[in-house]
Structure 1
């Protein structure tokens, strides 16, 4: 009997030792294993849209939870438009370096057609490619908007993503169920608003040629008819090959068009279901870490929400959509936990620019109130609450100051806040530091956020932060507590090439609402510092702009499923596993 007891005791002790060794080995492997990484990229979301930045009207509990468990950045800057910001996040580089910037003739800040030869160049090293080098599985769910190209040569799979479900362009009015069609007066006038200077020059040239004696009256008539015909042809060109055409609202799975046009209301549900399936897969197959980028089309106009979230926000459709996006983020975080993928997890969250205004200066159109968000309020150095000025497309704070969060339990102190100037470009060098991946063959404009982990009072690494819109000169410059604005924001939108003879200068600590420009004669030293910095910055740019020809729409490059109908009907979605 005693020998039997000793035998079983020895067996149990041996099993205990084996289990302890195995557990220790697994723990060591987890400690050495690089983190899983999730990047939540919101669209057109202002500071004032989120509870953690002061929104008391609409609840965003899941985003607020990320802020509570991680680090919040109070002065994080983006570009005022989608495409340049998205390139900057993935490369850590300013728009003049990536080439994703407004043209001189084709003056679109963003890609408005999939039938162009422009896109993020293949010699750029993207965040996804850095992860892929390190053995990660990489996935993008959502909006891309950095180029399509003939044969899809600029789509995400050519920039380091293993898998993608999403839209190549932005969400737009034409993608909504309320779109009145292509043949409207607003669409007919669209080329006039987009290319006012070119068309006006062409129109004024006709009477000038007559006055100078180069043409007779019949020549005036012929040229006028030619200009009218040109305008009509250009209008037809635009409504067929740009986002004015609902068939440009395409949903891809990798290289395959799965919806054309896509069903708007369920876009966020599609991305969330894809994420849930993916995280279940990663929970079973743990051989490699992963990078998941959730790139939402919300809160871009036209605002949409699925049936489950309509009339739930209490303040119209915008609040419904905001609640749905927040729910999706919460669902992804819950699935990470359920599949035991959150023990070593780095989460980042930001927006590509500020919210849309309820008034669009470039089309002179009034947008419904429930289509525009909130730039928010911040405290100045006197402790006063000040509303941020401006909106998407401008270089006022409301257009370029965006939410920024990072969460990494055990690495980043929970509930911490950083007031120093930071940029959405900073996520890229942060990833480089985490991955221990030096980059020496190109200029990285972003600065790692990791120094703030040890001390939130660390001074900004951006002594000068250049805010680009037009190809000729920075639209604004942030320097210490100062900000200089070089474009005349009152004439048009922020990217208009209407440069001021003298910039507006603001003290951002006292006047974050940019309401009282400082007298330049009393701040000449600051102004000289900024101008000198701009001079040296532009000398060292090595600009890499997408050419005007690459922005032209080429009909045979237009993505079309089932030619000539260009139609792929969405299958009824099964979202039961989402618990709605």
Structure 2
């Protein structure tokens, strides 16, 4: 009898323990209570955003107090990379795939040069909606997903015309519950910075009760330049000239207009921070801000980095990346480890408690060991593939491999030599040199990529090229080939697209 009573008490205690355990939020069936532990995620992608365009990255002439505060209160990455152009970067963010694997290696409406020395490969011109996008992954994890601003991974630049023509079903297919109407074509004087911001503020307000993902996709600081006149006038009074050409055809840097655009962007980020504070969401919201490529060299000097937008040198691909999440990221962290925009997909997936999809290849590595100072970040090598011509930026088809402090640039069949030509004096593209070209730099010791080590370190070159070739094969990267219709008299004449 005593044994039975003890067993009955033990059984009752076990039942009580299970009941208490199941009442924990992790097991709770109420979606709001369950998901309240997940952080909100706000990702702000800035167009043509130079690495040193922000105060905390070294700018002495433009005011970015809100971005500086985010860096001071969170993590600043000093070696964060994107692609040298817009569409490949944005597609890499949403897909988590290297452009070489996704096939989205250039701007979807980019020019084609059929008389150039190399015949560039065909590219995917639309991010497939059936792919397991970052938005789909977060949505499956209980997030409400929204986007406002620039699209540029399919069909058109801004979201607004696509939404008007095709409706929300178009964006639902990509995993977004909501898409805004902001468009730089509708904005009068600021490239829709405030329109995008106010749409996102409204999205946050409507979805504050449950976890949300907001993709804030700006058109600024891309040309044509546009900023509120009061801000432009402030910089004019400080001695900077107004632009004479808003498209950047005429080299001018820095103009009052460009500086005003940067400050205006920073102000808009401050409004998002204020909204989170007002709603009591600051502590458990991750804000990440990043550039999609370097700034246009005719607008901004990237020194100490070499070159600018469109280039495979650091000025074209190294960009600001700042993350703040008070609940989990300690203030003042500075990360020197090289990272890539593809890493945001697995990072957001991990912190959101999301899951990958069987058969869907993700090339990124979660950044949580770097921002939480826990665990090991397991990646030694980064790759970039841009097999296209961008002659207006002095760029021919090439790939990059970075391992540790060393970075190798491989040009497939020609090279535009801009040595000795400052961006503001470059009337054409530089001197065209035929043949493969390899450059090797120690970017930690030589951030300006001034000393080519390829001749002095042949073993390192062989090692890096072997890695690159293996990666081309593994990703099934499309490579350029010699062009039988090469015209040395006019190599960069735009022709009908006949990409192989």
**TM-score with structure 2 setting the length:** 0.72
**1:320 equivalent in structure 2:** 260
Q: Does 1:276 align with 2:283?
A: no
- Unaligned runs of 5+ residues in structure 1 are 1-20, 110-115, 172-248, 250-258, 359-371, 377-386, 546-550, 554-580
Query: Which structure: greater helix fraction?
Result: 1
Q: Does 1:389 align with 2:324?
A: no
> Offset of 1:482 from its aligned partner?
0.8
Q: Work out the CA distance in 2 between the residues paired with 1:105 and 1:131.
A: 29
Q: Secondary structure at the match of 2:198?
A: helix
Q: Secondary structure at the match of 1:146?
A: strand
* Preserved CA contact (<8 Å) 1:375 1:399: no
What is the number of equivalent residue pairs in this alignment? 401
Q: Secondary structure at the match of 2:152?
A: coil
Q: Does 1:464 align with 2:375?
A: no
Q: Does 1:79 align with 2:83?
A: yes
Q: Does 1:120 align with 2:127?
A: yes
Q: Give the RMSD, CA atoms, in angstroms.
A: 3.6
> Offset of 1:136 from its aligned partner?
1.4
- CA deviations 1:309-366 (Å, max 9, x no partner) are 33234440111111110000000110111122223111111000001011xxxxxxxx
Q: Secondary structure at the match of 1:270?
A: helix
* Preserved CA contact (<8 Å) 2:85 2:107: no
- Unaligned runs of 5+ residues in structure 2 are 1-22, 114-122, 157-161, 241-255, 389-395, 419-425, 480-494
Equivalent residue in structure 2 for 1:453, among 353, 365, 371: 371
Q: Work out the CA distance in 2 between the residues paired with 1:152 and 1:416.
A: 43
Equivalent residue in structure 1 for 2:173, among 158, 169, 194: 158
**2:19 equivalent in structure 1:** none
> Offset of 1:90 from its aligned partner?
1.4
Runs of 4+ in structure 1 off by over 4 angstroms are 28-32, 103-109, 149-155, 456-459, 471-474, 491-494, 496-500
**1:137 equivalent in structure 2:** 144
**2:442 equivalent in structure 1:** 507
Q: Secondary structure at the match of 1:64?
A: helix
Q: Work out the CA distance in 2 between the residues paired with 1:533 and 1:352.
A: 25
* Preserved CA contact (<8 Å) 1:470 1:497: no
- CA deviations 1:125-172 (Å, max 9, x no partner) are 22111111122111111111111279659954431112222578xx7x
Q: Work out the CA distance in 1 between the residues paired with 2:110 and 2:222.
A: 23
**1:301 equivalent in structure 2:** 223
Q: Secondary structure at the match of 1:85?
A: helix
**2:300 equivalent in structure 1:** 373
**TM-score with structure 1 setting the length:** 0.62
Residue range with higher mean Cα deviation, 338-347 or 73-82: 338-347
Q: Does 1:441 align with 2:365?
A: no
Judged with a 3 Å threshold, the aligned counterparts in structure 2 of structure 1 residues 97 and 54 are, in CA distance, closer, same or farther, namely same
Q: Does 1:482 align with 2:423?
A: no
Q: Work out the CA distance in 1 between the residues paired with 2:219 and 2:433.
A: 31
Q: Secondary structure at the match of 2:338?
A: strand
Equivalent residue in structure 1 for 2:460, among 513, 526, 533: 526
> Offset of 1:499 from its aligned partner?
7.4
Q: Work out the CA distance in 1 between the residues paired with 2:109 and 2:56.
A: 41
Q: Secondary structure at the match of 1:420?
A: coil
Matches within 5 A, 1:229-248: none
Judged with a 3 Å threshold, the aligned counterparts in structure 2 of structure 1 residues 499 and 449 are, in CA distance, closer, same or farther, namely farther
**1:357 equivalent in structure 2:** 297
Q: Work out the CA distance in 2 between the residues paired with 1:74 and 1:268.
A: 26
Judged with a 3 Å threshold, the aligned counterparts in structure 2 of structure 1 residues 498 and 397 are, in CA distance, closer, same or farther, namely same
Equivalent residue in structure 1 for 2:52, among 16, 28, 48: 48
Judged with a 3 Å threshold, the aligned counterparts in structure 2 of structure 1 residues 463 and 434 are, in CA distance, closer, same or farther, namely same
